[in-house]
Structure 1
């Protein structure tokens, strides 16, 4: 069985910082990350979606976490076709058109170079490319995915789709084959079902090395309302328990499974992660039978 790492989709979210989960004396940037890394073995860095990371931060993240800890790093918004404010770009790139392929290449170069210290320290789990809800299956989208993989050659890559048709018939098999061909891990999600934008809770395996499951919560306000409305959900144990056999089955097929909670209101994500750790304890700590 592969290694199952459980964590959350941020350690710096304002709601989490304000929830009281971090103890006194551990609420500065260094203290927060060291405390988090003492509780969980993986985290998603989502700040890199909003602004390009820096090599300095990559080095600090590596220094403040123990061997074996992993960061799943969310790709910068421009790299996945999301609207990007000019102010989020480096000053010398702000006069470039956002559709300019040369701009995308330069942004990727700076993004990857900033993360290189994290990778060299063996702290990088994967790069998460989360595509927007309007990124629908088709030849144009597949071409974007191939260009993205070409830029990210030799980097670990995971893909999350927000358009539900990727994982519905008749596209599901083609989507699986496409990601397998790209050597990209498919990201499975848990979210409210029955909404027009609901992603089916399928668990495809497209990489032997990694599978990722992100728990977004089950708010009926997904796709509308404020961020708090979209992600406000406290997972009940029975909701987590229904995922246990699926997660164990995934772990049997990959070397590493990352389980990340994105219901980031107050401390709901860390509490759900703690509960899932308990439910999966036998699987995350398999008995040594080597004698």
Structure 2
């Protein structure tokens, strides 16, 4: 059975920063990351989806986190086919026409930006979350092949937001394709009442890594604002539902990443704490955890040992 890391999909989310989770004296950029990394061994970088990351930030993240900590970095929107405003590009790229030259430069800059994380062994994976209109078919397969070619040597995970990829008739073909390309599949927990809901399957397509992202089960999915969609507090029994699936995934991969994307106030870190405690009861030291932190499985609250 492989090792397991649990974390949240942001440590900089404004609602988390203002929630009081960060202790006094640890609320600047450096203090927040150091505190988070003392509590969890994994975090997702979501800011890299909205704008190209920088090598300087990657260097700072390495310095501010302990050996063994991992960053899962979300791919920039332009690399996954999402609409990307010219204004979020570096100034010197905004005048370039849309086409291969601009695309190549964006790929190059993204690779350079995550270079320090790769060199330090802190890059958990690069997450490519494809849009809802990215459906199974020849164009999508070609895009995935290009992604695999451009990221050769990187750890890469793929999340689909189109349920057809994981429905019965397509499931085996999707697994085979990702396995052929060396890409880890991302499993998803979300509300199951919509035609667009991703089914709660647990695919493993890479021996290196398996990933699960918990988006919350808010009834506002499909209608509400971003804040309303992600405002959800997981109960312990809802997390426990996933234990058999997580065991199956961990049995088939060297490492399993379990991430909570219900980023509203403390909800994500609280759920991550609950899941971490549940998994440690089941699997003991196979679950990586923060530096001497005790976690309540009922509340997700933490207390530091002395």
Indicate if the aligned counterparts of 1:7 and 1:260 stay in contact, CA closer than 8 A: yes
Q: Provide the TM-score with structure 1 as the length reference.
A: 0.96
The 8 Å contact of residues 192 and 218 in structure 1, kept in 2 or not, is answered as yes
Q: Is the 8 A contact 1:4 1:283 kept in 2?
A: no
Q: Secondary structure at the match of 1:203?
A: coil
Superposed CA offset, 1:98-119 (max 9, x none): 4x12211110100011110111
Please name the residue that 1:85 is paired with: 85
Counterpart contact for 2:211–2:258, Cα < 8 Å? yes
The aligned counterpart of 1:23 is 23
SS at structure 2 position matched to 1:213: strand
Q: Report if the CA contact (8 A) 2:231-2:262 is conserved.
A: yes
Q: TM-score, normalised by structure 2?
A: 0.91
The reply on whether 1:129 has 2:128 as its aligned counterpart is yes
8 Å contact from structure 1 (residues 5, 284) kept in 2 = no
Moved over 4 A (4+): none
- 1:284 deviation in Å? 4.8
Unpaired segments ≥5 residues, structure 2: 288-306
Match of 2:303 in 1: none
In the alignment, which residue of structure 2 is the partner of 1:165? 164
The 8 Å contact of residues 2 and 286 in structure 2, kept in 1 or not, is answered as: no
Corresponding residue of 2:218:
219
**Which residue number in structure 2 is paired with residue 42 of structure 1?**
42
Q: Is the 8 A contact 1:73 1:126 kept in 2?
A: yes
**Distance in structure 1 (CA, Å) of the matches to 2:81 and 2:248:** 33
Distance apart, 1:169 and its partner CA: 2.5
Contact 1:158 1:187 in 2 (8 A): yes
For residues 222-271 of structure 1, give each alpha carbon's deviation from its aligned partner in whole angstroms, at most 9, with x where no partner exists: 23321111111100110001111111121111100000000011100000
Question: Unaligned regions of 5+ residues in structure 1, if any?
Answer: none
Q: Closer, same or farther in 2 for the Cα pair 1:286/1:132, shift >3 Å? A: closer
Measured in 2, the distance between the counterparts of 1:109 and 1:224 equals 37
Tell me the CA shift for residue 147 of structure 1.
Answer: 0.8
Residue pairs, 1:120-269, within 5 angstroms: 120-269=119-268
Number of residue pairs aligned between Structure 1 and Structure 2: 286
RMSD, matched Cα: 1.1
**1:65-110 deviation line (CA, Å, top 9, x unaligned):** 0000000000000000001011111111112344x12211110100
